[in-house]
Amino acid sequence: MKSRLLIIGLTASALAVPLLAFASLGDDVSSMQSDQLHMKGTSRTVRTELNYTVKEIQLPTGTQVREYVAANGTVFGVAWKGPTKPDLSQLLGQYFETYKNAPRAGFNHSQHVVEQDGLVVHSTGHMRAFAGNAYVLHLMPQGVTPQEIN
């Protein structure tokens, strides 16, 4: 009987905790459902007048992540801002190795830039104040500029 109550209690607790799902850069937005690596976040979708939507995700750490999704469902850009840097391997997905192995186009102690094979990553910050964005040029919808990824 106690084990049955424990299972019911754990199941109810698991259902009560909102799961935070990310779609990785270049992936289809439907991958958010299977990519539940982070918990306790809140999210909302913002429609734009252009041909994309923005998924805003508030992490428990206070960092906000914005994912830019084209009308065809592909994530073409991501941006982050907050007291901690998000898991870039998660956000950049298939582009993380390109990012990790690319020569830095610009670098100092608080910021760096990567431009490699159509991937552009800007990252800046210091303790408790991080910001950045990443996008793939050939995935951006027509009429969208890199300045919109913020």
The string of DSSP letters for 48-93 reads -SSSEEEEEEE-TTS-EEEEEEETTSBEEEEEEEESS---HHHHHG
Q: Is 147 inside any structural domain?
A: no
pLDDT of residue 42: 63
Give a yes or no: residue 108 inside a domain: yes
Low-confidence ranges of the chain (pLDDT < 50): 1-19, 33-40
Whole-prediction pTM: 0.77
Q: Residue 148 domain-assigned? A: no
- CA 5 to chain CA centroid, Å, is 37
Domain presence at residue 46: yes
Domain of 114 in residue numbering reads as: 19-140
For residue 34, what pLDDT is reported? 39
Question: Does 79 reside within a domain?
Answer: yes
Strand partners, 58: 42, 64
The count of structural domains within the chain is 1
23 DSSP 8-state letter: P
Side chain identity at residue 85, one-letter code: K
Distance of alpha carbon 88 from alpha carbon 63, whole angstroms: 13
Does 4 reside within a domain?
no
Q: pLDDT value at position 68?
A: 94
Cβ–Cβ under 8 Å, residues 129 and 63: no
Residue 3 located in a structural domain: no
Evaluate whether residue 14 is within a structural domain. no
55-63 long-range contacts, CB within 8 A, separation 24+: 55/23, 55/29, 57/20, 57/22, 59/20, 59/84, 59/86, 63/130
